[in-house]
């Protein structure tokens, strides 16, 4: 009889402890600006040549100019500063950049955006942006797309051009 009580106590204790562990970790809901990645490969089966990790803010009825104001350094997304990794040395707008990981900042403008490759990584937002750590700054023209994008988006074309898009705004950044 005692062994049955002991076994019952052990089983109940085990069940109780197991159920507590299931609830030990609380997971938050989906981020309002979820993280995403854009990867460039010269061909589908080839190695990655560039990768951008960024968060995708939504317009949610807001004006684009209030989210990425002209003339101000922007983190090129939301939350953590966007990071771009080049797996080989590249050229952007005639500026040579060594293989490595960098922060991708931008300065929006009406007719063109300044694209900034900065060596200070693992930063949140653009609050601690330090211009002295810029590796390259290039200008990229603004154009308009026919489709409105609710979420800020980054994509690579087959030729390596990196596109930034939000609302109907499009920025093309040629990477060689």
Percent of the chain residues topping a pLDDT of 90: 72
Q: Does 2 reside within a domain?
A: no
| Alpha carbon distance 77, 171 (integer Å) | 14
Looking at residue 20, its pLDDT comes to 54
Which residue did the predictor score with more confidence, 120 or 23?
120
Q: Which two tokens stand for residue 99?
A: 């293989």
Q: Does 22 reside within a domain?
A: no
Q: Does 61 reside within a domain?
A: yes
| Alpha carbon distance 26, 3 (integer Å) | 37
Looking at residue 93, its pLDDT comes to 87
Phi, psi of 23 (to 5 degrees): -95, 5
Domain that holds residue 37: 33-173
Q: Does 21 reside within a domain?
A: no
What is the count of structural domains for the chain?
1
pLDDT digits (tens, 9 = 90+) for 89-104: 999 989 999 999 999 9
């Amino acid at each position: 009889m005692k062994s049955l009580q002991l076994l019952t106590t052990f089983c109940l204790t085990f069940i109780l402890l197991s159920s507590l562990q299931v609830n030990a970790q609380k997971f938050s809901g989906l981020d309002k600006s979820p993280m995403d990645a854009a990867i460039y490969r010269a061909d589908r089966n080839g190695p990655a040549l560039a990768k951008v990790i960024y968060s995708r803010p939504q317009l949610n009825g807001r004006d684009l100019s209030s989210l990425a104001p002209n003339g101000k350094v922007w983190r090129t997304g939301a939350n953590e500063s966007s990071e771009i990794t080049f797996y080989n040395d590249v050229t952007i707008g005639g500026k040579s950049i060594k293989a490595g990981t960098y922060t991708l900042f931008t300065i929006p403008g009406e007719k063109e955006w300044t694209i900034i490759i900065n060596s200070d990584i693992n930063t949140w937002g653009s609050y601690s942006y330090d211009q002295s750590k810029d590796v390259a700054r290039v200008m990229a023209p603004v154009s308009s797309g026919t489709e409105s994008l609710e979420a800020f988006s980054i994509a690579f074309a087959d030729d390596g051009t990196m596109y930034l898009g939000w609302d109907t705004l499009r920025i093309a950044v040629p990477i060689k």
